[in-house]
Structure 1
Amino acid sequence: MSNKALRYLSKKAVGFGYAAVSLLLFVTIWQITVSLSGVNEALFPSPLSAFNALLEIIGDGTLTDHVISSMFRFAVGFVVAVAIAVVGGIIFGWFDVLYRLINPIIQLLRPISPIAWMPFIVLAFGIGDMPAIVTIFIAAFFPVFISTAVGVKNVPEIYLKVARNFGVGKVEIFWKIIFPAAFPQITGGIHLALGSAWVFLVCGEMIGAQSGLGYLIIDARNNLRCDILAADIVIIGIIGLLLDTALRYAEGQILKKWGLQKE
């Protein structure tokens, strides 16, 4: 085995070690808090109770159904939001007049919580998948759009002058110069959008859906199953972590392809 492979495996082993210690610390603090609180486990479940509840909802298929529903809504809302926001951000970031025209509107709408739009969303789309998808779209769109537009505006002018001097066409300038130069800032916005969209997915499902991880929280609360509620919260956190990890991996692979990150 080469030294490069050994270094890679060693790095991964250290990473997993830190993750294991962090998880153990979290569970320990959780158990100590339960023990010192004196609250009945039916209201404040211990890690063991939550784990048993997790096995229960895995065994009867409940968790699988809700995860599939949530991931479908998240994938549709997030991918559509990112695609439109990146394309729109590049266009508006490139054309300064359009940016100056649209920026006040964006800054007016951006601070409004997606949940504030929920009554209008439910009136327009009813209940089911669409309210959650639209909520995710709103939560993900603004961070990506703003980061992309600012990233494009901050591309050094010297890059563009060199490209024009070498006769690079306008389409190639966008794809080979502007997009790679703005990519780190775009991915920063996507990371923010991912966390925000995942949070608001759960909120949207708690209001306008009959399935999903957010709905499972409401259902567990209504049935006084705090152990299932705690298990669901942990699963939501784990999936969010996995999504962020997958995004970072994809970002790293793209940067390696462009020669902007070391192997």
Structure 2
Amino acid sequence: MLTEERHQMILNALDGKNAVTLSELCSLLGASASTVRRDLNHLAERGLLIKIHGGAMPCIDKFSFGEQNIEEKSHLYNDEKTAIAKYAASLIEDGDFVFIDAGTTTEKMIDYISAKNVTFVTNAFVHAKKLAQRGFKVFLPAGEIKLTTEAIVGAECVSSLQAYNFTKSFIGANGISLSAGVSTPDRNEASIKAEVIRHSMNAYILSDHSKFDQITSVTFTDLDKVIIITDKLSDKKYLTAANIKEVM
């Protein structure tokens, strides 16, 4: 049997199923385990399936390359974002040195922070104003303003953040996927998020359920490098790959 034929049979076997085992595929293809493993590796590298222990599962991720602006995002999943924001805010303690990313869910956090002796760094100028109005010490990094997300971005921003060591960081995302990790459409924003995670004792991703099984242009961290706070998972497969807190 040709390699291409085996690959198509594997994909056909996954159609409509949650997973298939290695032994099932060996029997179906009349091939050795080592051959099927090579096939699975190849298909996984092409993003056509997800290789798991003892078999494979279908890749149901949706690719998205556009990005909504802040105004459009602010009308989506408000109850879910509020629940996520409340829980995230409860994690901030007196004495923390915290990074808060730009975004609608991270902005909601600010109203629910009860700790007092906290210093913040944020790349969102709207967040900085709200934090300062609440009496917190706030630092803004240098950089270029991106109006669609109301964020400060660019190489200067990344450089400004390299000197900091955060006790906690709260970061937004556009896509969460088993195959592609945590992603965002903008390379400049991805660089900032990745830099912050490298300099954080605890890095939290704040994402409602709609961001799961989504892939956007640039991956900025792996699932096992962060803690994800979401409203409710529709697919529990993520619980084996990431530390996830559901708040609804």
TM-score (norm 1): 0.21
Give the structure with the larger helix fraction: 1
- Structure possessing the higher radius of gyration over alpha carbons: 1
TM-score (norm 2): 0.21
